[in-house]
Chain A
Amino acid sequence: MTHQETETITARVQYAKRGRLRFIGHLDTARLIVRAVRAARLPARTTRGHSPHLEVSFGPPLALGHTGDSEFFDVRLTEPVAPDAMRAALQARLPEGIEVRAVELIMGKAESLGVRLDRADYSVRLPAETALERAAVERFLSSDEVVVVRTRGGRESGREKRREKAVNVRQWVERLEVFDEAGGGMRLEMTIRITPQGSANPLEVLEALAGADAARQPGVRVHRIRLYHAEGPRSS
């Protein structure tokens, strides 16, 4: 719809979200990234119309409280930029906790991040006091359906009513392993599918394994190790 006359240039940016910055949600993260793109004076394209904005798009949201090593956003550019220069310019305008790891320029049509990324690997560290039976993992993997109640809305999200919905989280879990940690406690690793119809939060998987209280403990640490495409060569 815009700039049809020129070739599309996309800068695909890989970044990590770490430390205290895990305490801001996806929308706030997106906002600060868009501000960094603006402040860095990158030749980003803007949409036309009544509410013009920069053409920046984001990969699958990382939940509030979770860290990630390999997250992505795309910036549509009006002209090519040197990836290293772009990386440095963005980094200078981002708060501590967001690390720009790589910038890749894609000339011509770029598959959207939503299509590109359909798998996520997570690690979930459990505090020492959490009792998780290995048999629960076996039971989970051998079932076709494991239902947890998902709560949406409520005051903080700005919506009036909290809505509850039963979802089968098993359908999205491709891999689930449990390890003992050296310093006590356990660690789960899992691969979760991200589909247009939905996906699972790793804490929902933990809830299915050890109960809602275990999933709500403040000591549980969720880390998204990588986002990738199951078949594509461009996995990261």
Chain B
Amino acid sequence: MRPDELARILESELLPLVEKPGRYIGGELNRVVKDHAGLEVTLALAFPDVYEVGMSHLGFKILYEIVNRLDWACAERAYAPWPDMEERMRERGVPLYSLETFTPLRDFDVVGFSLQYELCATNVLRMLDAAGIPRTSEERLERGGPLVIGGGPCAFACEPVAAYFDAVVLGDGEGAVVEVLDAVRAWKRSHDVRGDAEGRRGLLRWLAANVSGVYVPQFYHVTYTAEGGVAAIERDYDDVPLPVERAIVRDLDTAPYPTAPVVPLVSAVHDRAVLEVMRGCTRGCRFCQAGMIYRPVRERRMETLMAQARKTLRQTGFDELSLSSLSTGDYSRIGELVTALADELRADATSISLPSLRIDTYSVHLAEQVARIKRTGITFAPETGTERLRAVINKPVRDSELLEAATEAYRRGWNVIKLYFMLGLPTETDEDVEAIAALIGKVSAARRAFDGRRGAVNVAVSCFVPKAHTPFQWLGYRPLAEFEARIGALRRRVRSRAIKLRFHDPNRSYLEAVFSRGDRRLAPVVAEAVRLGARFDDWSEHFSFERWRAAFDATGVDPDSYAYREFAPDAVLPWEHLSPRVDKAFLLAELERAQGGELTGDCREVGCRLCGTICDV
């Protein structure tokens, strides 16, 4: 279908009939439209969630910027159509297209998916279907089509969806995206990389052998043990890496940054300018996958950040600036940065948000600086109820520190404090859960100290999923029945009307556990779930546990064996061949320390802990 024909059908027949049609029209401020006739390589960035979610994602904005700076390539965008639009497109025979030029996705050289959470896999398949692109790498070898490449945090445990990708990029995409597109450009001159199996395999082999971070699943073979575990992961060729090591941008300060990002037409989840103050975190919380796979800490210079803030706000007109990172409170010049930004942005009422602060009174001081422009919420994440269990997860926050911070926040004018907790952490007991209830009560009571009222507390409780490449990767998900019991216990113990409790669905986390710890034998389950109607599984209104159960039954896969499985220390892990450049020996030592309740300090404070990453500590 030609782009002009596609646009005409959209406008006159489909868009008048769907919800929020602004998701599907493109035409935003700062988008980049190039004529494909003058280009050598075209890339479609495909986000497997709806426009408002995808437009909030920083990673894609960075890649969009980098690729569109190249004069021989373009990056265009596509998001998962909402079910009403997906159905109308299918009925009318309109293929999934890019928002920049209304080009069908199947006509691009490369389609790149961001894998932000495990259950987005169903939307990946639906987007491939909607684009008319064969689903699996194997089918595409036969029938042709774009190269389908994945990336993002789930790349490090992508085995359940590996069959659907020609390549997966591990780690920072800034350098890898240019190297990959440059290789496609060179190969296209002498080969048919879309249609010819030999050309396609040749290119993929070259990428695997030469571009840091590129994993080509079809060049690796997995065998299984009689007990259901992985026996071995072997490569087919000596020149493809084993393990595949993640790509790392060493100098974040000089890395390209999007200061004129596309501004969404339809209100996005995060409608604001974003500064990435640093990447990586060295706190070493043992449950946190991001803290392991984004090492080491790399900061941007304050001068760089100030310049990027000014430019971005001028190019977008956003009224909010978010200081983003895994732990913004740990930025080495955070106080100076916040003061300087607040002084400058106050004039035109641009507010600042600090999404990840530490639990201490200094954080309240920082939050107050930005509250002088516009007061936003204040959030603390003690994770669990006891100092004992916080030592197990290596997050050494004292109850007294939390209560001091809470008291200070109420005193400084916040009416509501938000708290994050997790259930199902390793070694958690009923006493730990009771302690969560007690701690929430103490936070609420902290307000009494100065005005006699109970403080409002909003509590979000999630279910811990042991993730690949963390010290807890060898452990299983806690039994569903235990989650139900502990959620019930917490509900019974928290009775105050000042406290609002919200729980993450343990069934959804169970599935997340299956897929984040799974292997290649799960691929048919995803396909079956899609056949049964699964999509937008991160949206509670679309998620159906029953449907997933039916998909497991139909494919004869036992999800319990994946969710609850514990791995022996010497077992081959399903993600053994995918390396974030953190040593397994370090993770195992951390698991042992966790079981002994021993803390491991932040390496920026106590010196190198030998995690194995490439860094300057």
Residues of A bordering B, CB below 8 Å = 19-21, 23-25, 27-28, 31-32, 34-41, 44, 46-47, 50-54, 64-65, 93-97, 155-156, 218-220
* Contacts known (A27-B267, A95-B28); A39 close to B349, Cβ less than 8 A: no
With beta carbons under 8 angstroms apart, the residue of A20, A46, A156, A218 that contacts B348 is A46
A24 CA / B373 CA spacing, docked (Å): 30
- Do A38 and B319 touch across chains, with their CB atoms under 8 A apart? yes
| The stretch of B297-305, B309-317, B472-480, B491-499 that contacts the partner chain | B309-317
B317 touches A93 (CB 8 A): yes
8 A-B residue pairs with CB within 8 Å: A23-B21, A28-B266, A34-B319, A38-B350, A39-B315, A40-B317, A155-B19, A218-B13
With A32-B263, A46-B348: A41-B314 Cβ-Cβ less than 8 Å: yes
Given contacts A95-B28, A156-B19, A218-B16, 11 further A-B contacts (CB under 8 A): A24-B22, A24-B25, A32-B29, A39-B313, A52-B349, A52-B374, A65-B16, A93-B29, A94-B29, A156-B20, A218-B12
Residues from chain B with a CB closer than 8 A to the CB of A52 are 349, 373-374
Minimal beta-carbon separation of A148 from chain B (angstroms): 19
The reply to whether A35 and B19 contact each other, CB–CB distance below 8 Å, is: no
Q: Is the CB of B348 within 8 A of A50?
A: no
Asked whether B21 lies within 8 Å of A39 as measured between CB atoms, the reply is no
In contact, A96 and B27 (Cβ under 8 angstroms): yes
Q: Within the complex, what minimum Cβ distance (angstroms) separates B12 from chain A?
A: 6
Min Cβ gap B479→A in Å is 35
User: A20's contact among B25, B349, B374, by CB below 8 Å, is which?
Assistant: B25
* B-chain residues with CB within 8 Å of residue A50 when the two chains form the complex: 374-375
Report the nearest B residue to A38, measured CB to CB. B317
Partner of A51, one of B26, B348, B374: B374
Contact A24 B265 (CB under 8 A): yes
Interface residue count on the B side (C-beta < 8 Å): 35
Q: Which of A20, A32, A39 has the most CB of B within 10 A?
A: A20
Bound: A54/B29 CA distance, A: 20
Which residues from 533 to 563 on chain B have a C-beta closer than 8 Å to any C-beta of chain A?
A: none
Contact A20–B11 (Cβ < 8 Å):
yes
B14 to chain A, nearest CB (A): 7
Residue contact A21 to B263, C-beta cutoff 8 Å = no
Chain B residues 26-50 with CB under 8 Å of chain A are 26-29
A32 to B15, CA, bound (A): 20
B271 within 8 Å of A (CB atoms): yes
A65 neighbours in B (Cβ, 8 Å): 16, 21
Q: Is the CB of B349 within 8 A of A35?
A: no
- Cβ of B564: which chain A residues have Cβ within 8 Å of it? none
Complex: A37 Cα to B14 Cα, angstroms: 32
A23 to B318, CA, bound (A): 21
Cβ of B17 under 8 Å from chain A: yes
Chain A residues lying within 8 Å of B373, measured Cβ to Cβ, are: 52
Q: A24-B265, A28-B265, A32-B263 are in contact. Are A95 and B21 (CB under 8 A)?
A: no
A32-B263, A65-B16, A218-B12 known; A46-B349 Cβ under 8 A = yes
**Are B349 and A53 closer than 8 Å at their CB atoms?**
yes
Which listed residue (A25, A34, A219) contacts B12, Cβ 8 A? A219
A20-B27, A21-B27 known; A31 and B267 CB under 8 Å?
A: yes
Please provide the 5 A-B residue pairs with the shortest distance between their CB atoms, ordered closest to farther.
A35-B317, A39-B317, A24-B22, A218-B16, A23-B21
In whole Å, how far is B103's beta carbon from the nearest beta carbon of chain A? 16
In the complex, the answer to whether A35 meets B27 with C-beta atoms within 8 Å is: no
Query: In the complex, which residues of chain A have a beta carbon less than 8 angstroms from the beta carbon of B22?
Result: 23-25, 28
Q: Which residue of B lies closest to A41 (CB)?
A: B314
State in angstroms the CA–CA spacing of A93 and B314 once bound together: 9
Query: Measured between alpha carbons, how far is A136 from B14 in the docked complex, in Å?
Result: 29
Q: Please indicate the chain B residues that have their CB under 8 angstroms from the CB of A37 in the complex.
A: 317
Which A residue's beta carbon lies closest to that of B18? A23
A39 contacts across to B, CB distance below 8 A? 313-317
Q: Which of A23, A93, A219 contacts B25 (CB 8 A)?
A: A23
Contact B29 A24 (CB under 8 A): no
Minimum distance in angstroms from A215 CB to a CB of chain B: 11
Identity of the chain A residue whose Cβ is nearest the Cβ of B373 in the assembled complex: A52
Residue ID in chain B nearest A20 by CB atoms: B25
Contact, CB under 8 Å: A28 / B267: yes
Taking a contact as CB atoms under 8 Å apart, the answer to whether A35 and B20 are in contact is no
Instruction: Determine the residue in chain B with the shortest Cβ distance to A94.
Output: B29
Given the complex of chains A and B, what is the CA–CA distance between A162 and B29 in angstroms? 34
Residue of A nearest to B14 (CB): A218
**B24 cross-chain contacts in A, Cβ below 8 A:** 23
User: In the docked arrangement, what's the CA distance between A35 and B20, Å?
Assistant: 20
Of all chain B residues, which has the CB nearest A35?
B317
A65 to B11, CA, bound (A): 10
- Cα distance A208–B25 in the bound complex, in angstroms: 31
Q: How far is the CB of A202 from chain B (nearest CB, A)?
A: 14
Q: Which residue of B lies closest to A31 (CB)?
A: B267
List B contacts of A219 (CB < 8 A): 12-13, 16
CA–CA, A28 and B266, complex, Å: 6
Complex contacts, A64 vs chain B, CB 8 Å? 21
Instruction: Report the nearest B residue to A217, measured CB to CB.
Output: B16
A21, closest chain B residue (CB): B27
Complex Cα–Cα for A95 and B31 (A)? 9
Least CB distance from B200 to A in Å reads 36
Contacts of B350 in A (CB 8 A): 38
Q: In chain B between 162 and 220, which residues have their CB closer than 8 angstroms to a CB of chain A?
A: none
Question: Closest CB-CB distance, A167 to chain B, in whole Å?
Answer: 23
A218 and B263 form a contact (CB under 8 A): no
Which residues from chain A contact B375 at a C-beta distance below 8 Å?
50-51
CB distance from B172 to the nearest CB of A (A): 30
Q: Nearest Cβ distance between residue A49 and chain B, in whole angstroms?
A: 9
Write out the residue numbers on chain A whose beta carbons fall within 8 Å of the beta carbon of B14. Answer: 218
- Bound CA–CA A218/B266 (angstroms): 21
